[in-house]
Structure 1
Amino acid sequence: MPTDNVDIALNNHKQNDEVNIVWLKRDLRLSDHEPLAASIKSGLTLLYYVFEPLLIADPHYDERHWRFILQSIQDINTQLASYNTAVYVYYGEVIAGLNEIQKRFKISSLYSHEEVGILSTFERDKTVKSWCNSQNITWFESASGAVSRGKKNRNNWDSHWHKVMKAEPHQPTLSSAVFVNNEVLVNLAKPSLPPTWYTHDEFMLKGGELWAHKMLQSFLTERGKNYHYDISKPHESRKSCSRLSPYLAWGI
């Protein structure tokens, strides 16, 4: 448990203390996370995830997605338990959740990965950007993988891809972090999520970094042995494929 660099007395955060927000989207992990690493170096940090009605109602998504995401957040919280913090989960619009945080803290900066999503998330990000500007909050966005936004052509995409893939991971130093603690988080507005999101469906993959590693290990040591034979077979491929797609899709 970290005690050297993080004063546990910071349990008593002052009203209007400056805080950095790490807005989690499709990056539900604590390792190789540039926004989190940057926020930790800058000061007091709060991790934030929003279940947005506009996405919950979107036909691209289903309850299985929200259950998987919630499980992934619970996995992150297990890792954060020794640091006396957790992800602040909000149900509603992103800006409404940020305003809720503003009641307790002064948001200094917002950190996140650029989201490679759908039109509604792109439009939402433009709205959040305008709000940040109106509040004098600096929003630092890190690229997602090797995706480059705003390009007019694909020139030199391959050299850029190789550069990104060979780069050293951005590893947050959790032991030196000053996090908003659980005693404060418990007083922020809490969402009421559907009970079915908390009930695991045994026919679905379980979210979280722990299960991602288990799935990868089972593929590399056993299930993948017949991958090239079974990948095109509807029944056999259920076992022989990697099953890593949902973990990669949600940045685990």
Structure 2
Amino acid sequence: MKKILWFRHDLRVEDNLAFNAACKDGEVLPVFIYDQNYWELETSSSYHLKFTQDSLEELNQNFKDQFNSNIHIYYGNTLKVLDELINKYKFEEIYSNQIFRNQYILDLDQKCKNLFKEKNILWQQEQQFGIQLENRKRNFWSSQWNNFIDLNPVKAQINCKFLKVDTPSFDKIKTKEIDGTNIQKGGRKQALSLLQSFLEQRSENYQKEMSSPVTGEVACSRLSPHITYGTISLREINFAITSAKKENMSFNKVKSLRSFRSRLAWHCHFIQKIYDEPEIEWQNMNRAYDGLRENSFNEEYHHAWKIGLTGYPFVDACMRYLKANGWINFRMRAMLVSFASYQLWLDWKRTSKHMAQLFTDYEPGIHYSQFQMQSGTTGINTIRIYNPIKQSTDQDPNGSFIKKWVPELQNVPDKLVHEPWKLTYLEQKDLDLEIGKHYPHPIVDHHSSSKIARDKIWQIKKTDEAKFNAQKILRKHASAKGRR
């Protein structure tokens, strides 16, 4: 029996159900395909590509060392690649893990299903997130997810022969190039190292330090891109957390790990959302908000927000940090989106594409749900408009983060670095700094723009249509704990 083992967002062999299922017998060809059209989407970027290449390079080396084989890597049209492999080598079965990304992947998978049906090929897909694929029962989602995540990770097992075939060479993969300087390195060794350091040291003050970009860089697990590309599984992370010796831990660390584990559940909860309703990628979850921002998009505001020149130092510092690192902590992501959606009144359907490129850990299910939540278009979430000055003084009280990432302001006194427009003419002269020339004036008045935005959102939120839609959304998507 000849089989294709199709690696996708599961770049590991440990706790990889598709790997074990394919390798239990027969002849197996390990394959990875860089889908050309996917990498040219406006949500794809060199950040994603670099992390994928790192991870794939390590996985390929692992295959050589352990199995005297290699991953066969292709670039082009996925459907064409698979069709040619089937026709040339007479494969009968294909194994992969299920992935839930965006409409493009959804459409691609449907085309693959049609091709495999036409060719009489078995396509066996395995579960790796514990979401409900059919007949979803909302009240039992939590208990079913816990049953899935609490299973012990499975070891890689092989009883097959790995095939070797010729693969065509290809030129540089085309995608959006971004010149970040400190992107996380991909690969399973990195994932395991991060997990170990988080469990042993960095999680001590996770709950207290995760909100600030100053402390969050270390206090957060930093496993998110590894989860996205599957260099480590959720069950492996959960097993490590639950196996840790709690008796040797401080009370803070026990609470922190409990909090972190809950975020594994939220990860899958949001993937469930995009599986249940793929449309959240491109349309408002609550259709009563259609037309709210679409016809009033300000290109000047959008550009200033993207390059970190809004005149709000903390907002700009966070955006510049994100571009350099391909990552920023969750609260700051929420603030950046909120500022764009409310103070700048920019449509999330466009701002989300830019942020997708910058997030090395771009996970569509989480991404679009959070963008809609922070933009007020779900109708079921609290309208949370972040005050950029309060966030600045709360999360960066002495302005060290601002001064590092907005060096134009590095000589401004700490008490004024959050609001440099309050510098007097003489103070600016002494600092050799001119607000409006060396660093911009605030692009909007955040007090008045926030009030206008809040009023517009509430005007819709109070309507019967918005309320009716909100109830439907709650029935479909809201999490509810069921019986164990």
TMscore range, shorter length: 0.7 to 0.9
Q: What is the match of residue 43 of structure 2?
A: 60
The amino acid across from 1:241 in the alignment is: C
Q: How far is the alpha carbon of 1:218 from its aligned partner?
A: 2.0
In the alignment, is residue 81 of structure 1 matched against residue 64 of structure 2?
A: yes
Match among 196, 201, 209 for residue 188 of structure 2: 209
Q: How far is the alpha carbon of 1:59 from its aligned partner?
A: 2.2
> After superposition, where does 1:175-186 map in structure 2 within 5 Å?
176-181=159-164, 184=165
Q: How far is the alpha carbon of 1:68 from its aligned partner?
A: 0.5
* Range moving further from structure 2, 77-86 or 124-133: 77-86
- Paired residue secondary structure (2:213): coil
- Paired residue secondary structure (1:160): helix
Larger radius of gyration: 2
Q: What is the match of residue 154 of structure 1?
A: 138
In the alignment, is residue 116 of structure 1 matched against residue 100 of structure 2?
A: yes
Higher strand fraction: Structure 1 or Structure 2? Answer: 1
**Residues 71 and 208, structure 1, Cα contact 8 Å, conserved in 2:** yes
Which ranges in structure 2 are unaligned for 5 or more consecutive residues? 232-484
Q: How far is the alpha carbon of 1:165 from its aligned partner?
A: 1.5
**Residues 18 and 126, structure 2, Cα contact 8 Å, conserved in 1:** yes
CA 1:194–1:114 in structure 2 vs 1: closer, same or farther (change >3 Å)? closer
Q: How far is the alpha carbon of 1:113 from its aligned partner?
A: 1.2
The amino acid across from 2:33 in the alignment is: V
Q: What is the match of residue 116 of structure 2?
A: 132
Q: What is the match of residue 3 of structure 1?
A: none
Listed one character per residue, the Cα deviations across residues 166-198 of structure 1 (whole Å, up to 9, x for unaligned) are 224343314x331113xx3xx22233234999x
- Paired residue secondary structure (1:211): helix
> After superposition, where does 1:42-53 map in structure 2 within 5 Å?
42-53=25-36
The amino acid across from 2:4 in the alignment is: I
In the alignment, is residue 221 of structure 1 matched against residue 204 of structure 2?
A: no
**Residues 3 and 93, structure 2, Cα contact 8 Å, conserved in 1:** yes
Task: Report the TM-score when normalising by structure 1.
Answer: 0.82
- Paired residue secondary structure (2:74): strand
**Residues 44 and 175, structure 2, Cα contact 8 Å, conserved in 1:** no
**Residues 74 and 167, structure 2, Cα contact 8 Å, conserved in 1:** no
Listed one character per residue, the Cα deviations across residues 115-151 of structure 1 (whole Å, up to 9, x for unaligned) are 1111110111000000001111110111232012244
Partner Cα separation in structure 2 for residue 179 and residue 195 of structure 1 = 30
Partner Cα separation in structure 1 for residue 33 and residue 142 of structure 2 = 34
Listed one character per residue, the Cα deviations across residues 203-241 of structure 1 (whole Å, up to 9, x for unaligned) are 011111011011112222333333223211122211221
Which ranges in structure 1 are unaligned for 5 or more consecutive residues? 1-17
**Residues 43 and 178, structure 1, Cα contact 8 Å, conserved in 2:** yes
Q: How far is the alpha carbon of 1:103 from its aligned partner?
A: 5.2
CA 1:237–1:148 in structure 2 vs 1: closer, same or farther (change >3 Å)? same
Q: What is the match of residue 246 of structure 1?
A: 225
**Residues 100 and 188, structure 1, Cα contact 8 Å, conserved in 2:** no
Match among 49, 71, 81 for residue 97 of structure 1: 81
The amino acid across from 1:97 in the alignment is: V
Q: What is the match of residue 7 of structure 1?
A: none
Partner Cα separation in structure 2 for residue 137 and residue 196 of structure 1 = 32
Root-mean-square deviation (Å): 2.3
- Paired residue secondary structure (1:144): coil
CA 1:226–1:167 in structure 2 vs 1: closer, same or farther (change >3 Å)? closer
Q: How far is the alpha carbon of 1:65 from its aligned partner?
A: 0.4
Listed one character per residue, the Cα deviations across residues 34-77 of structure 1 (whole Å, up to 9, x for unaligned) are 11111111311111111112211222221110110111111111
CA 1:196–1:92 in structure 2 vs 1: closer, same or farther (change >3 Å)? closer
- Paired residue secondary structure (2:91): strand
In the alignment, is residue 27 of structure 1 matched against residue 10 of structure 2?
A: yes
In the alignment, is residue 72 of structure 1 matched against residue 51 of structure 2?
A: no
Q: What is the match of residue 148 of structure 2?
A: 164
Partner Cα separation in structure 2 for residue 95 and residue 229 of structure 1 = 48
- Paired residue secondary structure (2:185): coil
Q: What percent of counterpart residues are identical?
A: 25
Partner Cα separation in structure 2 for residue 103 and residue 162 of structure 1 = 42
- Paired residue secondary structure (1:66): helix
Match among 172, 185, 195 for residue 193 of structure 1: 172
**Residues 45 and 175, structure 2, Cα contact 8 Å, conserved in 1:** no
The amino acid across from 1:50 in the alignment is: I
In the alignment, is residue 233 of structure 1 matched against residue 217 of structure 2?
A: no
**Residues 35 and 141, structure 1, Cα contact 8 Å, conserved in 2:** yes
Partner Cα separation in structure 2 for residue 107 and residue 126 of structure 1 = 19
Q: Which has the higher contact order (CA 8 A, sep 6+)?
A: 1
What is the number of equivalent residue pairs in this alignment?
228
